[in-house]
Chains A and B, each alone.
Chain A
Amino acid sequence: EIVLTQSPGTLSLSPGERATLSCRASQSINSIYLAWYQQKPGQAPRLLVYGASSRATGIPDRFSGSGSGTDFTLTISRLEPEDFAVYYCQQFGSSPYTFGQGTKLDIK
């Protein structure tokens, strides 16, 4: 089983700042199988990035994904108030299709 470890667990930043979220895999993953989601309370997860670096439809360009192998990053270039939420990574490369434990991005 591929374990995805997200860091940090909680990230406290202010609007306008840059956020860098990490997702580290216990084994190498083909980049096409790595996705990032945003989730707000009471809502279903929203796809942000798939294939490690492709933004989903309608996602602002302040969100970007990068990485390969075992290290992947989601960057939010300038935080907007609506970006404060929980973020998850998921891999579809090898069953079970595991999730990271999440990074909570909250307002400082």
Chain B
Amino acid sequence: EVQLVESGGGLVKPGGSLRLSCVASGFTFTNAWMNWVRQAPGKGLEWVGRIKSKTDGGTTDYAAPVKGRFTISRDDSKNTLYLQMNSLTTEDTAVYYCIRYKPLEGVYWGQGTLVTVSS
């Protein structure tokens, strides 16, 4: 069974940093392209970014609002995905989800972790 478990959320002041983690199990993490998605309170879903598998280059893509501030990385030895968030603003307050999409198989979501940016 595929499981994705996020952690690391919390309260941070504007301008601060936070690192989220997502531990994966139930599939071959090394081969997976992984994504982060967020949802601000009362708003819709917003894709944050993606990292390819190392065999596919390990490259990253980001949504415009987070580009240059957020960094996605992975540690395949720990089956863990990371989201490093810097220069946080109140607009980054959201529940953050890690998701895995596999064509012809489906989309798997974690339960999410809440990040609150407030002074």
> Chain A residues with Cβ under 8 A from B46's Cβ?
99
Task: Tell me the residues in window 6-55 of chain B with beta carbons closer than 8 Å to chain A beta carbons.
Answer: 35, 44-47, 50
Q: How many whole Å from B41's CB to the nearest CB in chain A?
A: 11
Cβ-defined contact, B109 with A50, below 8 A: no
> Chain A residues with Cβ under 8 A from B50's Cβ?
95, 97
- Give the B-binding residues of A (Cβ under 8 A): 32-33, 35, 37, 39, 44-45, 47, 50-51, 54, 56-57, 88, 90, 92, 95-102
Cβ-defined contact, A47 with B104, below 8 A: no
Cβ-defined contact, A33 with B103, below 8 A: yes
**Count of CB-CB pairs between chains A and B under 8 Å:** 58
Given contacts A88-B44, A95-B61, A101-B44, contact A44 B97 (CB under 8 A): yes
Docked pose: A100 CA to B47 CA in angstroms: 11
Q: Residue-by-residue, is B55-97 near A (CB-CB < 8 Å gives 1, otherwise 0)? A: 0000001111000000000000000000000000000000001
Interchain CB contact (< 8 A) of A88 among B35, B45, B111: B45
